[in-house]
Amino acid sequence: MALKDSYTLPAAADMHVHLRNAPGPIASLVTPTIRRAGIDTVFVMPNLAPRPVVSVAEALAYKHALQQLDPAVEYLMSLYLHESITPDVIREAKRAGIKGVKAYPRGATTNSQWGVVSFDPFHEVLKTMEEEGVVLNLHGEVPSSAADGVTVMNAESRFLPVLKGLVDKYPKLKIVLEHCTTADAVEAVRALSDNVVGTITAHHLSLLVDDWSANVHHYCKPSAKSPEDRRALLNAVVTSNGKFFLGTDSAPHDITSKKGKGNTAAGVFTQPYALGYVLTALEEGLGRGDISPEAVTDDALAGFLSGYGRRFYGLAPATQQIRLTRNGARIDESLRGDDGVEVVPFRAGEQTWGVEWL
């Protein structure tokens, strides 16, 4: 009923990461942990503050700054869907190798204040993305609204009609429903065409609503939900068939933004141990009977952690291999960087899987 003690797999790709402003103390702290996790390729989110990444020049400057922090990582860059983006910006982005445009429903999450209220004004932009093969990355939640009966618990399910509407209107548009957290979302993505996929984080494979209500380091958007939802996510990982792949949504926040006087910042920091968290969650899922042991094959792991995401974004398969070894590492209590920043990783202090590059 347990996993093996060691796995040799292709280097992983993490198709949803927050690295924050670069140069900057959090980027300097977390970017060097990408390869430590066994990951060589990341899709970088554009929700920087005080200004999101809305132009090709800004995206390329950001990429350059990240390369200074670790040149051995491939950074796939994205733009933030914003009223200043035109069809010409999309064509320029395509030529510059920018892979996606992230849509944040306004008010749904961290730095979404410049985000989308309605997709209608973006019709020409979305049509151009569909023509050019530029991916639409969706934060799949509607903002909470007591008047409409929306809370963090049903915000994702309420978004699914928006997803289906986009697929009907732009049938060839490549879409990623980012960080799926519900059985509803898994089912919706499975039922849609091959150009619609979902990412799944490491932490949503283990957390439930009770966990984040008790611990600020477990709080994120979309927030973790029910045991049935978690079971659907675990099964989506091992029966993905290309429909789901890893996007950790690793979201570092300084500890003062987690525990300060204001609202708690949403985000779970998983970057340095991302793959170990996935294996631990799968093993816990096996123990509960949430997934069947036969489903957890090396091919399923290699696809979810590495191959399916690369294929969706048109990249070649990984060239390097990694070995993951049970109990080969211990998770730091916290990571401290310049200017006094301190970021607390998920499952701080626990044993996890070690990573070696082969």
The site for ligand DOR (CB under 6 A) is made up of: 18, 47, 109-111, 139, 220-221, 249, 251, 266-267
Q: Which does 201 bind (CB under 5 to 8 A by kind): Zn ion, ligand DOR, none?
A: none
How far apart are the C-alpha atoms of 133 and 156, rounded to whole Å? 25
Shortest separation between residue 124's beta carbon and ligand DOR, angstroms: 26
Q: What is the DSSP string of 281-340?
A: HHHHHHHHTSS-GGG--HHHHHIIIIIHHHHHTTPPPPS-EEEEEEEEEE--S-EE-GGG
Q: Residue type at 191? A: A
Contact (Cβ atoms closer than 8 angstroms) between residue 269 and residue 343: yes
Question: Total binding residues for Zn ion by CB under 5 A?
Answer: 1
Shortest separation between residue 128's beta carbon and ligand DOR, angstroms: 25
Shortest separation between residue 139's beta carbon and ligand DOR, angstroms: 5
Residue whose beta carbon is closest to Zn ion: 249
Looking at residue 263, what DSSP letter applies? P
Query: How far is CA 88 from each of CA 44, 62, 102, 127, 132, rounded to the nearest angstrom?
Result: 22, 20, 17, 12, 11
Q: Which does 129 bind (CB under 5 to 8 A by kind): ligand DOR, Zn ion, none?
A: none
Residue whose beta carbon is closest to ligand DOR: 220
Binding-site member from 14, 249, 254, 290 for Zn ion (CB under 5 A): 249
Shortest separation between residue 109's beta carbon and ligand DOR, angstroms: 4
How far apart are the C-alpha atoms of 35 and 214, rounded to whole Å? 31
Q: Which does 267 bind (CB under 5 to 8 A by kind): Zn ion, ligand DOR, none?
A: ligand DOR
Contact (Cβ atoms closer than 8 angstroms) between residue 319 and residue 36: no
Q: Which does 221 bind (CB under 5 to 8 A by kind): ligand DOR, Zn ion, none?
A: ligand DOR
Interaction of residue 130 with Zn ion, rule CB under 5 A: no
| CA-angle at 342, arms to 22 and 224, nearest 5° | 90
Residues engaged in binding Zn ion (CB under 5 A)? 249
